[in-house]
Amino acid sequence: MIDIKFLRENPDIVKENIKKKFQDSKLPLVDEVIELDAESRKVKQEADDLRASRNKISKEIGALMAQGKKEEAEAKKAEVAANAKRLAELEELEPALNEKITKIMMVIPNIIDPSVPIGEDDTKNVEIEKFGDPVVPDFEVPYHADIMDRLNGLDKDSAGRTSGNGFYYLMGDVARIHSAMISYARDFMINKGFTYCVPPFMIRSDVVNGVMSFAEMEAMMYKIEGEDLFLIGTSEHSMIGKFKGQLVEEASLPITMTSYSPCFRKEVGSHGIEERGVYRVHQFEKQEMVVLCKPEDSMDWYNKMWSYTVEFFRSLDIPVRTLECCSGDLADLKVKSCDVEAWSPRQKKYFEVGSCSTLGDAQARRLKIRTKGKDGTYFVHTLNNTVLATPRGLIAFLENNVNEDGSVNIPEALRMYMGGVDKVYPKN
């Protein structure tokens, strides 16, 4: 959510930003919110004037009564009563106007960084850099579900009976690799100086509304029936919510955290849930990184954060590339975002395994997360980035480390979490 003062003073910039995001239907909202804001400020001013007048007249009444001027005092009381009726109307109108303004401001997109490429959708995203050579072996790399099956590592049939489509059991060595990757991702980020955290896996609606757009919430979040609780779709929501309404010490910035959680997503959309494999599912696990920092430091942290994900995957012998998200592919709260994509030797193309975003002060403004510096109080900047989301990261690992005989190499970085083994072998 952008600053209403900025919108009031720079409506053309806000409108141009809306056009860059190809959301022209929102253009009338700028003028609408400016009108409502003017009305709201007018109402507030009138209410403040009436309160000041009431206080002044009350003192006059006391003075008149002390002087025995009862008739004049009664006239003043009648004036106060008349003003009170109008003040009551204004005090009812003021929050109603503010609610309308907030509702509109919540759907006006954040101002994107000037470096963001302009494009309608993800087909216009721009490759930034490749890391590692994308190798295609001289044998046909099996579909990831087949690699898992040969290791007796995947059971979707049983999950279908217990939970339905979009769920899975990981078994044996595959489950162990999955857990080893999560543990390694945790320690990898701790070694980067991040504080490890396991957050709540459910959050209230006011936190949800503070960290994401309404459209994202509807497509992603599972609501707990009869309660004001949602299952988290990613731990950054819970992690940012940790600071809701807080005035954090400026000396404590940057606050750098890495969090583990299971994640739950509806995955509503045309892509659907994958029937056979585990690329797109309702439940997965994730190691995340979250940063709260001063505004002037946010872009430096953005570049550090995505580079950590690249480093993590390269340590597992997985080639990756970074992809700059274009304006039309950015969620409304995001200032800038890039995806980290892993090489698929089976498909001979890259696929997304992580996403890094800076959101400016949009989340902090919604959740009222502030700090105080020498020039006064201001909103912090928030950033988030995926270290590892698996089983999608597991797919990348298996495809890039599988051998022709179905065995899977365990890179050195992962062996301590796998009991020292350097390879796992097919069971059938």
Please provide the DSSP assignment of 4-28 as one string: HHHHHH-HHHHHHHHHHTT-GGGHH
Asked whether the predicted pLDDT for residue 268 surpasses 70, the reply is no
Residues 91 and 131 grouped into a single domain: no
377 assigned to some structural domain: yes
Mean pLDDT (whole number) for 315-335: 96
Query: Is 148 inside a domain boundary?
Result: yes
Q: What is the mean pLDDT of residues 98-122?
A: 94
* Half-sphere CA count of 388, side-chain side, radius 13 A: 30
134 & 222 share domain = yes
CATH number, domain of 352, equals 3.30.930.10
Whole-number Cα distances in Å, 1 to 206, 348, 364: 14, 40, 9
99 & 127 share domain: no
**What are φ and ψ of residue 290, in 5° steps?**
-135, 140
Q: How many structural domains is the chain composed of?
A: 2
Asked if omega into 254 is within 30° of 0 (cis), the reply is yes
pLDDT in tens, 8-66: 999 999 999 999 999 999 999 999 999 999 999 999 998 888 888 877 777 776 776 77
* Confidence tier at 427 by pLDDT (50, 70, 90): confident
pLDDT bucket at 74, cuts 50 / 70 / 90: low
pLDDT score for 273: 62
Tell me what pLDDT residue 64 has: 66
Co-location of 99 and 126 in the same domain: no
Domain annotation covers residue 45: yes
In a domain? residue 317: yes
Predicted pLDDT of residue 332: 92
Let me know if residue 59 belongs to a domain.
Answer: yes
Domain co-membership, 99 together with 128: no
Identify the domain containing residue 388 by its residue range. Answer: 122-424
Q: What is the pLDDT of residue 270?
A: 47
Cα–Cα separations (whole angstroms), residue 157 to 161, 162, 165, 226: 7, 9, 9, 31
pTM of the model: 0.89
| 269 in the same domain as 127 | yes
Residue 113 is assigned to a structural domain of this protein: no
Asked whether residue 239 carries a pLDDT value surpassing 60, the answer given is yes
The rounded distance, in Å, linking the Cα atoms of 392 and 274 is 12
- CB-CB contact of 326 with 123 (8 Å): no
Tell me the C-alpha distance between 323 and 345, whole Å: 18
